[in-house]
Amino acid sequence: MWIDTHCHLDAPEFEADRDAVVQRARDAGVRQIVIPAVAAFDFDSVHALAHRHGFAYALGIHPLYVMQAAEQDLTLLADRLRAWRDDPRLVAVGEIGLDFFVPGIDGPRQQQFYVAQLKLAREQGLPVLLHVRRSADQLLAGLRRTAVTGGIAHAFNGSEQQAQAFWQLGFRLGFGGTLTFERSLQIRRLAAAMPAEALVLETDAPDIPPHWLYKTAAQRAAGESSRNEPAELPRIAAQLADLRRWTLDQAAERTRANAIAALPRLASLGGLP
């Protein structure tokens, strides 16, 4: 019924009970999960996890990891993309992008890795999963210079004008746990106002927990955790359905179709109606 278009299932937060996390997701009706890599060290692990559980994966170098990355990591990415180019579970290049929120990450180096990975995506005919944080305009500029076959602007939190620009370039917008907070006014407005065809669902698990899992800074300091899971996707989807005045079945059908439009190789994978 549901596709989680962005879940870091390989994260260490899931090490102790990953199989149980997957089973809870399946029990909740999540039929497909896209697992994006964040650095060269997890190219092989996301590939292995996707094949073990029947899911999909993406390969890329996240902007928060570019300061640790070596030039040869781009070569390794190119090699893996070519080696696995016929693997139907390889659905995108990602997670890639730009992040101008976290201090201390070199902007030109981010741009270098971003553009290089756009070129690899174009070479392989793959869409991209974009990390967008205070960087929408710069990402759009890169896409206009190096066109790719679309993809998803993950955890989108920009303006309506920026959202429309991504949509016009063939991108869907990813909505997740932030949508569930009543104070997330801009995100909720976008989820309600953008064309229905522009919306996909994600959890970004173990990150971006919905409001019912959120812990305050004081609670986290006291040792309480707020791990997100792909099984939370249907409850997140219910928030979208309320905003759009859809039934839950309509939300599932629409966002599933949009995910396949954004990442066409999903259509060939098992587990989808």
Residue type, 166: F
Domains and CATH numbers, the chain: 2-268 (3.20.20.140)
Residue 220 has pLDDT above 80, yes or no: no
What pLDDT, on a 0 to 100 scale, did the predictor assign at position 272?
57
What pLDDT, on a 0 to 100 scale, did the predictor assign at position 224?
78
Q: How far is CA 204 from CA 9, 92, 100, 129, 156, in A?
A: 9, 16, 19, 12, 12
Other Cβ atoms less than 10 A from the Cβ of 176: the count is 31
What pLDDT, on a 0 to 100 scale, did the predictor assign at position 1?
87
Other Cβ atoms less than 10 A from the Cβ of 28: the count is 16
Residue 77 has pLDDT above 60, yes or no: yes
What pLDDT, on a 0 to 100 scale, did the predictor assign at position 221?
73
Q: What is the pLDDT of residues 190-213, one digit of tens each?
A: 999 999 999 999 999 999 999 999
What pLDDT, on a 0 to 100 scale, did the predictor assign at position 219?
83
CA 225 to chain centre: 22
Q: How far is CA 6 from CA 36, 206, 223, 225, in A?
A: 7, 10, 26, 20
- As to burial, measured by CB atoms within 10 angstroms (0-12 exposed, 13-18 middle, 19+ buried), residue 255 is buried
Q: Which of 117, 126, 119 is nearest to 56 (CA)?
A: 126
The answer to whether 33 and 10 have CB atoms below 8 angstroms apart is no
Q: Which of 202, 191, 196, 130 is nearest to 166 (CA)?
A: 130
Q: How confident is the model at residue 273 (pLDDT cuts 50, 70, 90)?
A: low
Mean pLDDT across 259-273:
87
- As to burial, measured by CB atoms within 10 angstroms (0-12 exposed, 13-18 middle, 19+ buried), residue 137 is middle
Q: Which of 233, 156, 242 is nearest to 192 (CA)?
A: 242
Average pLDDT, the chain: 96
Going by their DSSP bridges, the two strands 171-175 and 199-201 should be labelled as parallel
Q: What is the pLDDT of residues 7-19, one digit of tens each?
A: 999 999 999 999 9
The answer to whether 56 and 269 have CB atoms below 8 angstroms apart is yes
Percent of the chain with pLDDT over 90: 93
Q: What is the pLDDT of residues 135-165, one digit of tens each?
A: 999 999 999 999 999 999 999 999 999 999 9
Residue 271 has pLDDT above 70, yes or no: no
Q: What is the pLDDT of residues 48-73, one digit of tens each?
A: 999 999 999 999 999 999 999 999 99
Q: What is the pLDDT of residues 80-117, one digit of tens each?
A: 999 999 999 999 999 999 999 999 999 999 999 999 99
Q: How far is CA 214 from CA 129, 178, 256, in A?
A: 25, 10, 26
Q: How far is CA 25 from CA 35, 231, 235, in A?
A: 14, 4, 12
